[in-house]
């Protein structure tokens, strides 16, 4: 049976030049490399986590950019965080049920930088972190230089992170530097943390003095009316909220934010300065001008409507085309559906026949297993029989076609 080519999973060769110790355990970004290979023309891809570029508000953004360039040369200068943008973020947070002030908003170069900066704020070399067994790989990349001791918990596909297991770690005496949670429309699992579990987690954070990094890039892409606010709405001392414009405007803006206690903002500033001095003034002012013009609500409505239809199209096609032994999540927002196949199936081995023979791509579940750092967890290959599907970047027709092809393959192997 064909498998993923070895070049996609091999380690870096040992260099002659002396590098920092932690780079010895550095893995290639299997996810990125897979994405590069499966993004060939002609491949019908459910692999990436991309918003649909056809939905980018190009015209409105171009107007905002021209206006900024015409009116303010400071847009191209070094400069402090742009206060009017912070005001817009405060208003966006209020839409998520979070009350905060401009002084608590820290602008970053994307959510990924926010994770990096917060990791530097909390984590010592060899320190403990608590993450889910299956999780966004960017958090693993952010913590890897610290050679962390990674504690993991499982995730319930209906209610989110298994909070009882968090408590088990804490009761056993573990004192992680932070816990990382994607509370809404999880990447890759598609699940949203239930209201009860959010409350339980916040209670544990207070009891044990455990900072929570709440990563919420999909919070404004919600396709059902009923939803709970993020954990930051329940606690402003222990919850460090991370937001992003990548999924609601465009990833290339590289613009995100942290909501943190005001007294820590100066420390965050110093940490961030060491990596990029500051987030582009030009981008901050351009996004702020776009928001001033009042375009965002209609744009968000359009995104939600379009992605909701694509999610529903994918779910219906899966129900029709996939074998009865397959199970999957029904996300209330975001961009991903998580699929579990019978235990004997290895989705990494299915990827190549899918790409080569049927020209359809997905990401095998093992790409999301928590494995970074020196102390590998005992998660094993929990996700060997799983895969992640993205529904935001294909038209409904393409989704029907691609799920049909995938169904043919799964019937052969399940
Ligand atoms: C859960 C999660 N956090 C953070 C990011 C990074 O977002 P940004 O583009 O804002 O850096 C992503 C991107 O896919 C993500 O899925």
Tell me what percent of the residues of the chain surpass a pLDDT of 90: 85
Give the chain's mean pLDDT: 92
Q: Which residues pair with 181 in a beta bridge?
A: 214
Q: Which atom of ligand 1 is nearest to the CA of 255?
A: 10
> Which atom number of ligand 1 is nearest to the Cα of residue 114?
11
pLDDT band at 373 (very low <50, low <70, confident <90, very high): very low
Query: What is the number of H-type helices and E-type strands within the chain?
Result: 12, 15
Looking at residue 380, what is its pLDDT?
A: 52
Distance from residue 73's CA to the centre of ligand 1 (Å): 31
State how far the Cα of 249 lies from the Cα of 401, in Å rounded to an integer: 28
The rounded Å distance from CA 20 to ligand 1 centre is 26
Domain coordinates in residue numbering, the chain: 6-56+298-413, 72-294
Model pLDDT, residue 153 = 96
Q: Pick the range with the lowest mean pLDDT from 1-5, 153-157, 237-241, 406-410.
A: 1-5
pLDDT of residue 70: 96
Helices 281-292 + 58-71 axis angle, to 10: 120
6-56+298-413 belongs to which CATH class? Answer: alpha beta
Q: Which of 259-263, 315-319, 366-370 has the lowest mean pLDDT?
A: 366-370
pTM to 2 decimal places = 0.94
165 CA → ligand 1 middle, Å: 25
Cβ burial 13-39 (10 Å sphere, 16+ → b, else e): eeeeeeeeeeeeeeeeebbebbbebbe
Give, for ligand 1, the residue of 48, 50, 109, 187 to mutate: max count of ligand atoms closer than 8 Å to Cβ.
187
The domain 72-294 having CATH identifier 3.40.190.10: the answer here is no
Distance 111 CA to ligand 1 centre (A): 5
Site to probe by mutation for ligand 1, drawn from 244, 250, 256 as the one with most ligand atoms within 8 Å of Cβ, is 244
pLDDT score of 4: 53
Query: Distance from the CA of 217 to the center of ligand 1, in angstroms?
Result: 6
pLDDT over 70 at 158, yes or no: yes
């Amino acid at each position: 049976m064909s498998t993923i080519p070895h070049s996609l999973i091999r380690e870096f060769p040992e260099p002659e030049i002396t590098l920092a110790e932690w780079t010895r355990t550095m893995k290639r970004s299997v996810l990125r490399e897979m994405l590069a290979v499966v993004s060939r023309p002609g491949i019908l891809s459910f692999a990436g986590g991309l918003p649909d570029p056809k939905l980018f508000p190009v015209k409105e953004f171009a107007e905002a950019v021209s206006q900024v360039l015409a009116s303010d040369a400071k847009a191209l200068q070094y400069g402090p965080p742009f206060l009017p943008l912070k005001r817009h973020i405060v208003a966006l947070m209020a839409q998520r049920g979070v009350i905060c002030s401009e002084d608590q908003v820290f602008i970053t170069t994307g959510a990924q930088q926010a994770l990096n900066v917060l990791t530097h704020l909390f984590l010592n070399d060899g320190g403990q972190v608590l993450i889910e067994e299956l999780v966004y790989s960017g958090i693993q990349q952010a913590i890897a230089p610290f050679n962390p001791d990674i504690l993991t918990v499982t995730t319930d596909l209906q209610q989110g992170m298994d909070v009882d297991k968090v408590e088990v770690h804490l009761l056993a005496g573990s004192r992680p530097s932070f816990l990382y949670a994607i509370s809404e429309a999880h990447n890759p699992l598609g699940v949203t943390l239930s209201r009860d579990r959010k409350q339980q987690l916040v209670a544990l954070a207070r009891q044990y003095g455990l900072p929570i990094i709440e990563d919420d890039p999909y919070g404004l892409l919600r396709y059902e009316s009923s939803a709970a606010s993020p954990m930051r709405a329940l606690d402003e001392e222990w919850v460090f909220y991370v937001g992003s414009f990548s999924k609601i405007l465009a990833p290339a803006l590289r613009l995100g934010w942290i909501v943190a206690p005001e007294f820590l903002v100066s420390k965050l500033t110093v940490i961030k300065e060491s990596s990029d001095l500051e987030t582009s003034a030009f981008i901050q002012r351009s996004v702020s001008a776009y928001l001033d013009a009042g375009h965002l609500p209609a744009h968000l409505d359009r995104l939600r409507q379009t992605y909701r239809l694509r999610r529903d199209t994918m779910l219906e096609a899966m129900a029709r085309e996939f074998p009865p032994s397959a199970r999957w999540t029904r996300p209330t927002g975001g961009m991903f559906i998580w699929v579990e196949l019978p235990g004997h199936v290895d989705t990494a081995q299915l990827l190549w026949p899918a790409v080569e023979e049927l020209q359809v791509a997905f990401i095998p579940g093992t790409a999301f297993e928590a494995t970074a750092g020196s102390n590998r967890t005992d998660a094993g290959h929990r996700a060997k029989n799983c895969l992640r599907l993205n529904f935001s970047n294909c038209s409904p027709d393409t989704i029907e076609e691609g799920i049909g092809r995938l169904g043919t393959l799964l019937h052969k192997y399940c």
